[in-house]
Structure 1
Amino acid sequence: MAAQDGWTGMDWDWTDHGDIRERLERGADPEAWSGGRPLHRAAVLGSAQVVAELAGRVADVDALEMGVTALWEAVVSRKPDNALALVAAGADPWRELIGGWSAGRLSLAGPTPHLFALPAGERDLTDAERTTAAEGARLVDALGRFHYEGTGLACVAGIDAAEAVSRLQATPADHGLVEEVLDDPYAHEMDDILQIIGVTSVPGGCVVTQPWGYAPSMPGVLTRLSVGTRCYGLYANAKSGDQGSIARDGTIDGWDLSPGCGPHESDTAEEVLAAYLYQYHAVAYACAFAGLRLTDARAVTGPCDRWVRLPRRDYWVQ
């Protein structure tokens, strides 16, 4: 397909206006690229010049791909210049798309709330949505950027570290061994250190962490922690990316989720907002799901309140 539509060799860089224009003049299809739409690709990965060039050549600037317009993609990707170029070409910011949200209304919850003028009759954010957006920005800023590949987490609502330890029937871990593992986890066999986890109380609940493995996100851990409450499990798999799971009141309620990947076509209104606020911030997403109001990343990266050892049992069953 790529060899026939004129976009051979295009991948992650759609910023070269000269190259894009030359391809179009030679017959590249402005409506099709590798099974998708070039305008949607450029909205995320291109420059405003490229977006304007493509927008002027397509039949419908508001054509849908996976249920959303190119303008939606530009807003979700935090590309305000691309979004403005699309609006200048006739894109409608207030067309409802996923979960009842339009691109324009979603932008009100992001870093450029004044990107589009709110027309008379269009819905502003509710007080609850505005509060959620403000907390999202605060939480992302509080956690900052840090390396978490290979880390396992359980973010638990409403219980502190002591209660989490009790529910897991965990015992204090050997301090010397913990220091050795933190210094070089790869010097140890995973079977010997998988039961060691860190637990920290935070505003709103607690965080269970393991910087070297997936133990906190195992089903048997999540179900024990979530009795009478809810929690979000996260494993930052180095091979397949961030993997999320949900447990509510002792039952796994969601598995093989993709936190931090942006809104999906089937999302509810609340899920769309959360996915937008925490795109590329999987840890913050997990914390927010459980209502945790961390003020820094210590509960994830350490030093933890306490290090404990899980009893040996099959945690892959609920």
Structure 2
Amino acid sequence: MGEDWLSKLHWAAEFESAQEVAAAIAQADDVDAADEERTALWRAVHARKPENVRLLLAAGADPALPMMSGWSPARLSLTTDHPLPTAEVLTREERAAVEERDRLVAALGGVPGGDGFSLACVAGVDAGTAVRLLEAELVEAPGDEAEEDVLGVTTVPGGCVLVQPDGYAAAMPGVLDRLSAGTVAYGMYANPKSGNQGSVHRDGETAEWDLHPGGGVAEEETAADVLLAHLYLDEPVAFCLAFAGLRPADFRAFTAPDLWLRLPERDDWDF
């Protein structure tokens, strides 16, 4: 019963209704048992499910248990609309991160929607520099038919955003490696078949790949990484922007880029 109901309780706390959580609690040996370094209460707080949180607290779950690089369930709740009573506090930087999340998500307004697009968020690089790094030529905005080697690029506070409305070119490793020389870039392809695929590029090299921006918190993350992944749960585009420290005022980078560029023919864009 133990391990089986442990996984069921954690799943229910994060993804299911209060009724499912109540049933799982009734079968659980320990409501504070950890799975992937966190308790069911932590998962309910992370998923912004206040009813599930209430049931777990009533069952004796401890909101102050230390976990996830210093983010107890109670401290994590301070970043949500349903904070739990606690003596723990957020730092000034953490409060600013919460405020920026709210601003950025509102500014994007759900744009871009759907899937099939790709993007690159590059820190400290403007649109003109991106064109130069890619050895690209400037072209007119594409018409109704997407071109596989044409990308839009826009300077935003903190860096630039490259986007291909229908295609994966903006997230090709070779493109991102070139753009990340001396800095950091985050790329994402909203794959219609397998979901959002992300990668991190630093100093001209691929540092991490097969990532899932907006998909939740992984084990053994740093405190800053836990906060970032928690704040941008289910907000993959905003996550990519925030990871690179970009702060666009609106969604124009995805609908009306500053410039359009055509990538030169190369053998090392993708691999």
| TM-score, with length taken from structure 1 | 0.80
Give 1:46 deviation, angstroms.
2.9
In structure 2, the partner of 1:91 is 61
In percent, how many aligned pairs have the same letter? 50
CA deviation map 1:56-106 (0-9, x unaligned): 442211112222211111111110111111111100111122122111111
SS at match of 1:179: coil
Matched residue, 1:137 = 102
Partners of 1:156 and 1:81 lie apart in 2 by: 39
Within a 5 Å distance, the mapping from 1:293-304 to structure 2 comes to 293-300=247-254, 302-304=255-257
Letter in 1 for 2:182: G
- The residue that corresponds to 1:43 in the other structure is 13
For residue 252 of structure 1, what is the aligned residue in structure 2? Answer: 206
1:180 to partner: Cα distance:
2.8
8 Å contact kept, 2:123–2:160: yes
Amino acid at match of 2:101: G
Kindly tell me the number of residue pairs found equivalent between the two proteins: 270
Q: Which residue in the other structure is 2:176 paired with?
A: 222
Shift of 1:49: 4.0
The residue number in structure 2 matching 1:156 is 122
The letter for the 1-side match of 2:4 is A
8 Å CA contact 2:2–2:29 kept in 1: the answer is no
CA distances 1:142-194 after superposition (whole Å, capped 9, x unpaired): 1122414111110011121111111111112244xx1132xxx4xxxxxxx22
TM-score (norm: length of structure 2)? 0.93
Are 1:291 and 2:245 an aligned pair?
yes
Q: Contact 1:263/1:275 (CA < 8 Å) preserved in 2?
A: yes
Q: CA deviation at 1:53?
A: 4.1
Q: 1:281 aligns with which of 220, 223, 235?
A: 235
The CA distance in 1 between the partners of 2:53 and 2:204, in whole Å, is 44
SS at match of 1:109: coil
User: Which fold has the larger relative contact order, with Cα–Cα distance below 8 Å and residues 6 or more apart in sequence?
Assistant: 2
Q: Match for 1:102 among 57, 72, 76?
A: 72
Q: CA RMSD in A?
A: 1.8
Q: Which segments of 5 or more consecutive residues in structure 2 lack a partner in the other structure? A: none
Query: What is the rounded CA distance, in whole Å, between the counterparts of 1:73 and 1:254 in structure 2?
Result: 25
**Cα contact 1:30–1:39 (8 A) shared by 2:** no
Residue 170 of structure 1 is aligned with which of 136, 140, 143?
Answer: 136
CA distance in 2, matches of 1:48, 1:152: 37
1:233 corresponds, among 176, 187, 211, to 187
Contact 1:39 1:51 in 2 (8 A): yes
Moved over 3 A (4+): 315-318
Residue 316 of structure 1 and its aligned partner are, at CA, apart by 3.8
Contact 1:222–1:247 (8 Å) recurs in 2: yes
Structure 1 residue 64 and structure 2 residue 29: aligned?
Answer: no
The structural deviation recorded for 1:31 is 5.9
> 1:56–1:89: 8 Å Cα contact kept in structure 2?
no
Q: What is the DSSP-based 3-state SS (H/G/I as helix, E as strand, rest coil) of the residue aligned with 1:155?
A: strand
> Could you say which residue in structure 2 is the equivalent of 1:24?
none
Q: Counterpart of 1:180?
A: 144
